[in-house]
Amino acid sequence: MLVIIPTVVLETVGQYFNIFWGVYWYVFEAFVVVGLSEEFFKRLIVMKFVFHHPAYNERLDGIVYCSVAALGFATLEDVSYVLMYYFDYPDILLTRALLSVPVHMLLGITMGYFLSQAKFCTDKRKCASYYRKSLLVPMLLHGAYDFILLLSDDIPVLSQFLIPFVVILWISGLVMFRKYYKDSKARHYRA
């Protein structure tokens, strides 16, 4: 949860350096300021405290650990948003609970999927590729989510893409989870 502190610092600095205008401002804000900083620090926590731990001994563990890191982050982030904006936007509690928290968890599943691919692969080149994807894919998905949110304030019709985007994240997250769950179950039956 406390990883939100360096994230807020980095996001504040990033906003200061967002010198772009128009749609480019939204792209930089969504993908770099928010997407990169939040996903970087969530992955950093998993890398520092869990990735090399002996308990991380199967692919499903990556999804579990990254999802827990994402949910811890989302909890503190959403509590702070609700405390800051509830009186101006009373519906923020519902929208953060129904969209933001699940999106963070689903991005954690995606991160954990690729992190486990990196940890348990045997080809060093593929391992490096999976490791990069463990940050890049969640960052791009997070950026796309925030891009839709930010731009829908100016172009309300874009908000119609938010729910289908989250549904696609759910489907892909369930596919990744199911794959590693089956792998884990088969592994335990063999033991």
Report how far apart, in Å, the C-alpha atoms of 16 and of each of 6, 13, 26, 79, 108 are. Answer: 15, 5, 14, 24, 27
Q: For residue 4, which of 88, 69, 52 has the smallest C-alpha distance?
A: 69
pTM higher than 0.75 for the full model? yes
Question: What's the domain range around 10?
Answer: 4-190
| Cβ atoms 108, 63 nearer than 8 A | yes
Tell me, rounded to whole angstroms, the distance of Cα 80 from its chain centroid: 18
Q: What is the pLDDT along the chain (191 residues), one digit of tens a residue?
A: 778 788 887 788 888 888 889 889 999 999 999 999 999 999 999 999 999 999 999 999 999 999 999 999 999 888 888 888 888 888 888 888 888 999 999 999 999 999 999 999 999 999 999 999 999 999 999 999 999 999 988 888 888 999 999 999 999 999 999 999 998 888 777 65
Number of separate domains in the chain: 1
Determine the number of helices (DSSP H) and then strands (DSSP E) in the chain.
8, 0
